[in-house]
Chain A
Amino acid sequence: MDSYLTTDDANPRVAARTSRSAQTRPARRGRRTTEGADNAGERPDARQSDRLARALGWFSIGLGIAEVVAPQGVARLVGLEEDDGNHRLLRGIGMREIASGIGILSQRKPTPWVWSRVAGDALDLALLGSALRSDKAQRGRIVAVTAAVLGVTALDVYVGTRLYRNADGGATDDAGDNTVEIKTALTVGRSPQEVYRFWRDFDNLPRFMNHLEAVRITGERTSHWKAKAPVGMTVEWDAEIIEDRPNELIVWQSLENADIENSGSVRFAPAPGNRGTEIMLEMRFHPPGGTIGARFARMFDEVPKMQMRNDLRRFKQVLETGEVVHSDDSIEPGPNPARPSERIPAL
């Protein structure tokens, strides 16, 4: 295993979808459980994605069997080096294919299994990527097969999102509601007074919120925010505090002209057993780009959630230990070997 998934919060591509979000409406439980959450199985497009899922299931099984019984053939076909290691690997992948194929076909709700295919595709793509780098392999073939896998990946993602949406009642497109809501909780070993005070001083925030570049106070209740966004862009917005209860709660929302409409709240409550303060952070945002943007953001809403947790964790580190904790891996963006860095990082 050469690398782990790059869902690291250091990954700039996913930056803007984080935090700094949003809450224009009163909190609603669960994201996309809206109006008319009718039974997925009865909708015509649901039947269609079911059929597609089934086809994918059979494809999985076929491919899996080929990989298990004839890894040499498959290796040759995809242009991988024909060594023992690759054969073993292909057999492993084959087992996975068969398992997710059977999963898709035998489940009444195939969604998670289709997603398991997506995860598998990602793995295959990574494998083919490393094959591309190896000299002995025949590049032309690998490129062709990579394209094919990419095609299947796209199909997997498509079916996955459709099933997902159907299961959720299909709120997004039809209702035109693009809100993405994320929340996360963490306990910090300091009193609600200390925690509130540190958070309320917005100058402190960029210290632990990695994607935040700057916060400028512009008025009694207003401030200007600047955050890193994908492909080296920045997004900016003005925010207003709409509720501020010392040591308990801060609620904010973006004002008009925001690059990303967003809102959020942070609650502080004493943790039982003198363990400090339980923080509950909630953010909502309306991703730009309409439906496509929303679908994309939603597909990966694990990522902003993780980033939000990481921000909270760094907040805890600063309050409890006085510093943001770094390892040799974490000071560099993206996956990196655990060894000292050549450059002096800006900390």
Chain B
Amino acid sequence: MRANCWEGKQKVRVEDVPDPKILNDRDAIVRVTSTAICGSDLHLYNGFIPSMVKGDILGHEFMGEVMEVGKGVKKLKVGDRVVVPFTISCGACWMCKQELYSLCENSNPNAWMAEKMFGHSPAGIYGYSHLTGGYAGGQSEFVRVPFADVGPLKIENGFTDEQVLFLSDIFPTGYMGAEMCDIKPGDVIAVWGCGPVGQFAIASAFLLGAERVIAIDRFPARLRMAERNTKAETINYEEVDSILDTLKEMTGGRGPDACIDAVGLEAHSPGLQHTYDRAKQMMRMETDRPIALRQAIMACRNGGTVSVIGAYGGFIDKFPIGSLMQRSITIRTGQCHVQRYMKPLLARIENGEIDPTFVITHRLSLEDAPEAYDMFLHKEDECTKVVLRP
């Protein structure tokens, strides 16, 4: 089959690789009909997540048709149409029973590696380095899906791929980011990053009852997308002197009630701070550039919440722990517990509360993956979300 493989820093290639086989009784093989490129893939692309091996198949946002099921699969049958969550979860361990699916205790065969890096291991993830399992990803024609009865969501109501594909990751992720803010009537929420994840966080904050949402980025097209799709107010951080002052001015001096970091470890900043973090990153003295996270903490109102859905992989410097502690700020984080949100969010799509297709800017063939990565990285052609068809 054809698959998009990681070949090294900023290098991917579509290659011929062996077809996947059923390895465990609870596996299914899915023929991919649509897959997407995620901001998380860019962290791998740029070489910021350790333990990638040359030839790894990328991709964790995908859906398709069930081609084959193992003996132990009960709920799925050949021909079913499914969206597959990016987190691999067994459904049986304590974490899965608490609906903390991205912390499944059984799905990461390389847990020993993650324990070294993180102390304890999170769940396995498709196409997302060997720290989270070394599973082949979904930017390919076929994928082996473990625990097929637990993760995949059956799609029966004639939706198009594009309407439901993002249930695999970014819609639930943005939604969880907003949910972690415990939004109450009258709340003002600020969202750093208007990439696809940020867009869904903004939309979800409104779905959950936020009074106002302030969206922050520097790409006009992405800011416009937020304005067009919701009644978000926007800040282009390159056009203001100080994000903190601007946010204070916009919130009567209080600061936002909750701040969502939908940027992650490769944050950008026009100022000296960026140079500082970039240099430290290059010297391997910190792995992540926490510029948006620092701002989110400093900006948040006293006693507010900072919700971190942007991905971090290692260690950071100059973390404003004083601000966090002195001002009773709650910080909430996590890889999305996707399975928890798939059904309720499908219902919201069904009710017409949201149409997830608004983030798509490019539709390409799987064969175009290398150009698509490059374009998405550099935000060329106002690229925000790429859907690939094998």
Contact bitstring A187-215, B, C-beta under 8 A = 1, else 0? 10100000000000000000000000000
B57 touches A320 (CB 8 A): no
Q: For the complex formed, measure the closest distance between the CB of A18 and the CB atoms of chain B, giving whole angstroms.
A: 13
- Per DSSP, are chain B's interface residues mostly helix, strand or loop, or mixed? loop
Contact bitstring A259-300, B, C-beta under 8 A = 1, else 0? 000000000000000011000000000000000000000000
Q: For the complex formed, measure the closest distance between the CB of A92 and the CB atoms of chain B, giving whole angstroms.
A: 6
Question: Given the known A-B contacts A1-B47, A336-B134, A338-B130, are A331 and B23 also in contact in the complex, defined by CB atoms under 8 Å?
Answer: yes
Query: Pick the contact of B19 from A189, A316, A338, A340 — CB < 8 Å?
Result: A340
With a CB–CB cut-off of 8 A, which chain A residues contact B110?
327, 329-330
A340 touches B17 (CB 8 A): yes
A330 touches B47 (CB 8 A): no
B250 interfacial contact with A, CB 8 Å? no
Bound complex: CA A4 to CA B50 (Å): 8
A336 touches B144 (CB 8 A): no
B130 touches A189 (CB 8 A): no
| Contact residues, A294-346 vs B (CB, 8 A) | 306, 309-310, 313, 316-317, 320-331, 335-342, 344-345
A175 interfacial contact with B, CB 8 Å? no
| Contact residues, B81-118 vs A (CB, 8 A) | 90, 92-94, 105-107, 109-113, 115
Question: Given the known A-B contacts A321-B92, A340-B17, are A328 and B144 also in contact in the complex, defined by CB atoms under 8 Å?
Answer: yes
With a CB–CB cut-off of 8 A, which chain A residues contact B146?
325-326
- Chain A, residue nearest B54 (CB): A2
Query: Pick the contact of A4 from B109, B113, B136 — CB < 8 Å?
Result: B113
Question: Given the known A-B contacts A96-B284, A339-B56, A341-B18, are A326 and B23 also in contact in the complex, defined by CB atoms under 8 Å?
Answer: yes
With a CB–CB cut-off of 8 A, which chain A residues contact B135?
327-329, 338
B295 interfacial contact with A, CB 8 Å? no
B52 touches A276 (CB 8 A): no
A1 touches B50 (CB 8 A): yes
Bound complex: CA A218 to CA B50 (Å): 47
A107 interfacial contact with B, CB 8 Å? no
- Chain B, residue nearest A309 (CB): B112
Tell me which of B51, B124, B130 has the highest count of chain A C-beta atoms within 10 A of its own C-beta.
Answer: B130
B72 touches A320 (CB 8 A): no
Tell me which of A321, A335, A342 has the highest count of chain B C-beta atoms within 10 A of its own C-beta.
Answer: A321
With a CB–CB cut-off of 8 A, which chain A residues contact B113?
4
Q: How many A-B residue pairs have CB under 8 A?
A: 136
Query: Pick the contact of B5 from A1, A339, A341 — CB < 8 Å?
Result: A339
B325 interfacial contact with A, CB 8 Å? no
Residues of B within 8 A of A (CB-CB), count: 49
- Chain B, residue nearest A306 (CB): B112
B23 touches A347 (CB 8 A): yes
Bound complex: CA A338 to CA B125 (Å): 11
| Contact residues, B53-80 vs A (CB, 8 A) | 53-57, 72
- Chain A, residue nearest B128 (CB): A338
| Contact residues, A1-21 vs B (CB, 8 A) | 1-4, 9
Bound complex: CA A2 to CA B115 (Å): 20
Question: Given the known A-B contacts A325-B106, A327-B110, are A337 and B5 also in contact in the complex, defined by CB atoms under 8 Å?
Answer: yes
A189 touches B93 (CB 8 A): yes
A95 interfacial contact with B, CB 8 Å? yes
Q: For the complex formed, measure the closest distance between the CB of A69 and the CB atoms of chain B, giving whole angstroms.
A: 14
| Contact residues, B202-261 vs A (CB, 8 A) | none
Question: Given the known A-B contacts A321-B90, A329-B110, A330-B134, are A335 and B53 also in contact in the complex, defined by CB atoms under 8 Å?
Answer: yes
B40 interfacial contact with A, CB 8 Å? no
With a CB–CB cut-off of 8 A, which chain B residues contact A306?
112
A321 touches B26 (CB 8 A): yes
For the complex with contacts A306-B112, A325-B124, 19 further pairs of A-B residues with Cβ separation under 8 Å are A95-B285, A189-B93, A309-B115, A316-B93, A320-B90, A321-B92, A321-B93, A326-B24, A327-B124, A327-B133, A330-B134, A331-B23, A336-B53, A338-B53, A338-B56, A339-B5, A339-B18, A339-B56, A347-B23
Chain A residues in the interface with B (C-beta under 8 A) = 1-4, 9, 88, 92, 95-96, 187, 189, 275-276, 306, 309-310, 313, 316-317, 320-331, 335-342, 344-345, 347
